[in-house]
Every structure is written in structure tokens, then in C-alpha cells.
Structure 1
């Protein structure tokens, strides 16, 4: 993933603050503790990629940065355990809460990277890389290989949801739905807008699949057409 790590960490922290951590931070969402926890989640979400600085300026792009210790799940599990125990020993539960949240967001980063990247989940016992989908390296700039892959839509979805939660759009949507239920004209307008949005989404999806597979499906269809035409001419 490229753009969704920070937003994913934000969403994870929002879930924490409304469930298991609700009693420890209180109900005031603009409190200092709440803001600190949200910041910890966002920073934790992008923290594993800090090794990219070393990768570019010191390692000179010789080693894939997913091979560094900061991209190993065992590293963040150990950090979470160590910092959590330290906070408990120092009798500072809030320190443990912040650091565990940050490390949890870092682990979520690795889960997201597993979608199209390679993460060594069994390190140090096994160096087998795990990934769900493989992104081809047909473009010179590696970023293009990811943004033209259909899984980039997952990143866009995560970013969109994070923005909606941050801007409290769900509350606005509930208010709009209340108004729409009372007006049939508005219902027709929103149905048409929804159909248009669905059509645009399908076009983007088809376009991304087309980019990803480099028109191989269409090339096979053309080859099949030429094959049939050639055989038909021979029969004649």
C-alpha cells in the first residue's frame, strides 16, 4: 500500500476509542488524551515505512525495505510487549495504552502490506514471504505498478472511509436520508445520482483491470478471432 497506511491507523484507533479504550479516555472526543491517541494511531500506521529513509539514503536501494527488521511482525510484537510491560512496571497505564495503540497500528500496516507486498510473517523461524496478490513490475517507476493495479481501489476505499469518519459524514448522511424520505422528487434525483456513481465506479474498476493485465484478455480474443478467420479461409 502507498496512501492508506495513515488512514488505516486512524480508523483502527477510532475503533479502539469507541470500544475497549472508551473508559480510559472518557467520552470527550476533543480531549488531550483522545487527540494524543489518534496521533499515535496515525504515526504507528506509517511508522514501519520510516525505514524507507534508510533504504534510499544509506542502503542505496540495494535491499528491499520489506526485508528490514522494521517490517517484521515479530519486531512490533516484541515492542508492544516490552513497552506495555514497562508502562505497567512504572505504573503509567496511559503510556502502555498509547504505545500499544501505536504498535497495533504498525501491525495493521504489515497486514495491509501483505495484500500486494511481501511480509515475512514467520520470521525468524522461516523466511518465506507472504502476499495475497502479486503486482507485476512492468512499469519503470514502481509507484505506477501499484496505482494501476486493481487493488489500489482498496486504498481509495480506506482513505474515503477515513475522511468520512473524520468529517462526521455518517451523521450528515442520516440527516439527508430523513429529508429524502419526505420528498419523492429528491428520491428520484438521488437514485439517478447513485446509478451514475455506480457506472463510474465500474468504469474505473474495468479500467484498472485493463491496466493491470495489460490488455491480455483482449489480445487473446483478437488472436482467437484471427485463428477462426484463418481456418475459415482454409476451409473455403
Structure 2
């Protein structure tokens, strides 16, 4: 899945929970969800190939441990927002892992890491197609390969359009509230 799509699902998740979060805290939650729905792909900067970029940042155990530590630390420094901070980070990262698992084309997700290094995926993966630098993902031949699975590509495009619709709708609501 491409970075913009990860940001879109982070936005959609935070928008879905908007009514359950105090307005003063919503912006923090929104930005945590968006940032951490993209953050696991930072490992792509350090990877030589697309197929090799799923590091420990793409494993659930890493995020469970990290969010546990963040929760404990934030309880000491900002107990009123510790749940919100932890949830925003965990939700964003977990959605990233789930959507990468669903849309995997070259490498799966190691759901059982560190107990197993097995990659899990929904559709067949083709690691040989991912032996290119991460920054070449948006050029052919990888781009054409990525679009071959119309269901996955449609899911990703649909997710982006849905996020765009919600973004426009929510920005119009904010403008109307401001003019009242």
C-alpha cells in the first residue's frame, strides 16, 4: 500500500471515532492516527528493496510492547491523555499492518514475530517483483505489477476517495460552524 493510502486510512479511523473523543483532544488523536498509520514505512528509507522493507516496524509485537511503554510513561507525565495518545499510536500502526497484510504484493506480515518468521498474506505474493528500490515503486514495471490485482488496487483507490469525501465534508462542517 502506498503512503498516501496509509494516511487516508489513519484519517478515516480518527474520523470514525471523532464523536467519542473530546473536541480539545481530537486534533492530537487525528494527527497521531495519521502519523502512525504511515510511520511503519520509515523502514523503507533504510531498505534496499520493496520486498525487504517489512522490518520489526511491521510486526504487531513491536507495537504492543512500544504502546505499553508509551502508556506507562504517559501515565506519569500526562495521565489525562495517556489513553488517547496510546490509542492513536496503536490504532494507526495496527491499521498500517492490517492494510499491508490485505494489500501485500511482494512480502507479507509476520503476525507471530518473534516466535515465527513466517509471512502471512491474503493474496499470493511475488517477492521477485519487489527486488527494486522502494523509491521505484511508482514507476514501471512495479506500478503495472501492482495494478494487476484489480481488487486490491480498487480497495486502495476507494479508500483514498472515501477519505477525500470525509475530508471535504468535515472541512465544510468546520466552515459552517465558524460562520455561525
Shift in alpha-carbon separation, 1:154–1:89, aligned structure 2, 3 A: same
Matched, 1:79 2:66: yes
Hey, what's the Cα distance between the residues in 1 that align with 2:148 and 2:50? 25
RMSD: 2.6
**How many residues are matched?**
157
Hey, what's the Cα distance between the residues in 2 that align with 1:149 and 1:63? 17
Q: Contact 1:135 / 1:145 at 8 angstroms: preserved in 2?
A: no
Q: Contact 2:44 / 2:50 at 8 angstroms: preserved in 1?
A: no
Picking from 92, 95, 101, the partner of 2:88 is 101
Map of 2:9 onto structure 1: 8
Q: Contact 2:7 / 2:38 at 8 angstroms: preserved in 1?
A: yes
Hey, what's the Cα distance between the residues in 1 that align with 2:71 and 2:17? 16
Aligned-residue offset at 1:149: 1.9
Map of 1:122 onto structure 2: 112
Q: TM-score when scaled to structure 2? A: 0.76
Picking from 70, 73, 85, the partner of 2:57 is 70
Shift in alpha-carbon separation, 1:157–1:62, aligned structure 2, 3 A: closer
Q: TM-score when scaled to structure 1? A: 0.59
User: Which residues of structure 2 form unaligned runs of 5+?
Assistant: 131-138, 174-180
User: Which residues of structure 1 form unaligned runs of 5+?
Assistant: 173-236
Hey, what's the Cα distance between the residues in 2 that align with 1:72 and 1:100? 17
Larger Rg: 1
Picking from 124, 127, 130, the partner of 1:134 is 124
Aligned-residue offset at 1:95: 4.2
Aligned-residue offset at 1:127: 1.4
Hey, what's the Cα distance between the residues in 2 that align with 1:147 and 1:50? 23
Matched, 1:89 2:76: yes
Hey, what's the Cα distance between the residues in 2 that align with 1:78 and 1:133? 29
Q: Contact 2:6 / 2:38 at 8 angstroms: preserved in 1?
A: yes
Shift in alpha-carbon separation, 1:13–1:51, aligned structure 2, 3 A: same
